[in-house]
Amino acid sequence: DPQRDFAFSIDRCSDITTHTFNIRAAIVLSHSIKELYVKVDLIINGKTILSYSETLCEPGHSKLIFCGKKKGEHLYYEGPVTLGIKEIPQGDYTISAKLTNEDHVTVACADFTVKNYLDY
């Protein structure tokens, strides 16, 4: 996100396709989170293949522990991720994620790109 500091790291990147790996992400909120919505796009070789959106936080129903956090507070997540993919076909893969609040203000956004041109 070019407008705020966001930290993200992946352990054991070379083993992503077949193993569980740990991720860590941190951000200082520039907006409070009463309601939070996520939109994720999967883009393969420049074409959007999948779009997904979901409500993560809303009054009386929150899916995440950081729902209700205030502007200026830190968010930190650390945990395992398992893809369970045996083989990734060659190409460019981009995951574009955008989190917005109840005022349609972007709380955080990030693009993750994987380029695979290796023969298995």
Q: Which domain holds residue 37?
A: 7-116
Whether residue 120 has pLDDT greater than 50: no
Roughly how many angstroms between the first and final C-alpha of the chain, as a whole number? 33
Q: Are 92 and 30 in contact (CB under 8 A)?
A: no
Q: Residue 57, class by beta-carbon neighbours within 10 Å (0-12 exposed, 13-18 middle, 19+ buried)?
A: buried
Question: Is residue 35 a part of any domain in this protein?
Answer: yes
- Alpha-carbon gap, residue 42 to 47, rounded angstroms: 8
Q: Which residue has the higher pLDDT, 98 or 91?
A: 98
For residue 66, give the CATH number of its domain. Answer: 2.60.40.770
Q: Are 71 and 65 in contact (CB under 8 A)?
A: no
Question: Is residue 37 a part of any domain in this protein?
Answer: yes
Reduced to 3 states (helix: H, G, I; strand: E, B; else coil), residue 68 is coil
Question: Is residue 1 a part of any domain in this protein?
Answer: no
- Alpha-carbon gap, residue 56 to 64, rounded angstroms: 7
Question: Is residue 65 a part of any domain in this protein?
Answer: yes
Question: Is residue 2 a part of any domain in this protein?
Answer: no
Question: Is residue 90 a part of any domain in this protein?
Answer: yes
User: Average pLDDT, stretch 41-49?
Assistant: 90
Q: Looking only at Cα atoms, what is the longest distance across the chain?
A: 49
User: Average pLDDT, stretch 24-40?
Assistant: 85
Reduced to 3 states (helix: H, G, I; strand: E, B; else coil), residue 103 is coil
Q: What is the pLDDT of residues 48-97, one digit of tens each?
A: 999 999 998 988 877 777 788 888 888 887 887 776 666 667 888 888 99
Q: What is the CA radius of gyration of the chain?
A: 16
Phi, psi of 34 (to 5 degrees): -90, -45
Q: How many domains does the chain have?
A: 1
